[in-house]
Amino acid sequence: MGCRAQDVVAALRAAADTVAEHRVELTDLDRPIGDADHGENLNRGFTALVASLDGGAPETPGAVLKLAATTLISKVGGAAGPLYGTAFLRAATAVGQASELNSAAVVTALRAGLDGVVARGKAEVGDATMVDALAPAVEAAQAATSDGIAAVLAAAADAADAGADSTIPLVARKGRASYLGQRSAGHLDPGARSTALLLRTFAASAGV
């Protein structure tokens, strides 16, 4: 079964719940290596997104993703707002006007999102950012394409969890954490953690 607009809406509403539940955790991760606002930033954005969806959701998956993009860009702020916003915007463009997405389209959307984050933030794998969660997630998703949407998202979530954990020993080379130099090592990157949480939520919403 494909992914329709209402499924994307449900996934984003679930994501808002996850962000609210993990708001303090994400902000605490951002305290020693950043400015202690990542959870608040995302929560502000996803709360605004839910309010917008409550007013009536768009009718295609791409239009829902675009609404998420514009809302997150305008409400999240900091580094993460433009980065997540660009990811959703590229994903929206990648899926176009389709009324239903198959697993290949979901993989294409994920890859477009990664490409958007990289284009915007110029981070590579190993720089201790959300790219360390998202890049392996896209590769795992691609490998699972023929297994269906739920399997694609579950594979992405598993890879993102491992990718987020991989940031712990790393010295950050992008974002605020990079200002700390060597002292940034030994910490889980908050954006990598939030990426992993979002992908896990999308997988759960797809029925895994």
| Residues that bind Mg ion in the complex, under the rule CB under 5 A | 30, 34-35, 37-38, 78
- CB-nearest residue to ligand ADP: 191
* CB of residue 104 to ligand ADP, shortest distance in Å: 26
How far is residue 141's CA from residue 46's CA, in Å, rounded to a whole number? 24
Under the criterion CB under 6 A, does residue 131 sit at the interface with ligand ADP?
Answer: yes
Contacts of residue 197, defined as CB under 8 A and 6 or more positions apart, other chains included, come to 18, 19, 22, 26
Which amino acid type is present at position 21? E
For 97, counting Cβ atoms within 10 Å of its Cβ (0-12 exposed, 13-18 middle, 19+ buried), the class is exposed
Choice from 17, 21, 35, 147 touching ligand ADP (CB under 6 A): 35
Contact mark string toward ligand ADP, 172..191, x via CB under 6 A: --xxx------------xxx
**Residue 67 phi, psi dihedral angles, 5° rounding:** -65, -40
Q: Which is nearer to ligand ADP, 7 or 161 (CB)?
A: 161
Under the criterion CB under 6 A, does residue 106 sit at the interface with ligand ADP?
Answer: no
Q: Which is nearer to ligand ADP, 19 or 101 (CB)?
A: 19
Under the criterion CB under 6 A, does residue 30 sit at the interface with ligand ADP?
Answer: yes
How far is residue 184's CA from residue 172's CA, in Å, rounded to a whole number? 6
Cα separations in angstroms, 132 against 34, 99, 117, 123, 143: 17, 31, 11, 9, 18
Residue 80 interacts with which of ligand ADP, Mg ion, none, CB < 5 to 8 Å by class: ligand ADP
* CB of residue 99 to ligand ADP, shortest distance in Å: 32
Give ∠ CA 147-151-157 in degrees, rounded to 5: 145
Residue whose token pair is 């697993």: 103
* CB of residue 144 to ligand ADP, shortest distance in Å: 24
* CB of residue 78 to ligand ADP, shortest distance in Å: 3
* CB of residue 191 to ligand ADP, shortest distance in Å: 2
How far is residue 140's CA from residue 55's CA, in Å, rounded to a whole number? 35
The footprint of ligand ADP (CB under 6 A) covers 30, 34-35, 37-38, 41, 78-80, 83, 117, 121-123, 129-131, 174-176, 189-192
